[in-house]
Amino acid sequence: MQIRDLTERSLCAMFDHTNLKAFATTADIEKLCREAREYGFAAVAVNDAQTALCSRLLAGSGVKVGTCIAFPLGQNTIENKVLSAVQAIEGGAGEVDYVANLTYVRDGDWDMAEREMTEVAAACRERGAVSKVIFENCYLTKEEIRHLAEISLRARPDFIKTSTGFGTGGATVEDVALMKAVVGDAVKIKAAGGIRDWETCRAMIEAGADRIGTSAAIDILEGFRQDH
């Protein structure tokens, strides 16, 4: 999307309003959902244990429940990831973010990396849910990022995503631009990790991000308002 075309409403519709803290309370999650309803965010991004609660709280709102699985390490079997995705969808998730198994990537086992991406994406697609595969770019070389993005053109998750926010680094403009250069408009891009102000958010969108994962969506929106 062109920055000049953004409105408050369309910006809010790009946000995954996020609380993935291990110590989040029920009250924290209720607040997250209340804010997502109020502002019209695309989704909330929560850990699997909060899926059912968020599904109840957001029923009829148009805000999707985004469940994060194999999070944040990605070190689960393919079968476990598929099962977790299916269970999350059955529990009310409309979107599933999962972390790629980086052992496959670092070992150069691209067949297994592609099998994982294909099977999780297919499980989500068959059940009408959106899939997002997290690369965790801070641990990868540029060539590994490029290769994973190329795999996504065949496996066809709905989104490829930069980061969990729990690694050694978050989203960078350079990585978003690299991912966009590979997938074009065929696969969408979610930037997440360290995006806490409008200036950073704007740079990610200009580089090609279609969705922004952040726990600071309201602060970013306020920055947008001040800039306009």
* Cα separations in angstroms, 215 against 26, 45, 64, 220: 16, 9, 16, 10
Q: Is 175 a catalytic residue?
A: no
Identify the three-state secondary structure at position 93. coil
Choose, from 16, 97, 158, 175, the residue flagged as catalytic. 97
Question: Which one of the listed residues 81, 180, 190, 210 is annotated catalytic?
Answer: 190
Q: What type of residue sits at position 104?
A: Y
Active site residue 161: yes
**Looking at 64, 81, 132, 161, which residue is catalytic?**
161
Active site residue 190: yes
Q: Where are the beta strands (DSSP E) in 90-145?
A: 95-99, 130-134
| 8 A C-beta contact, residue 220 and residue 198 | yes
CA distance 86 to 94: 11
Instruction: Tell me which residues are annotated as active site.
Output: 97, 161, 190
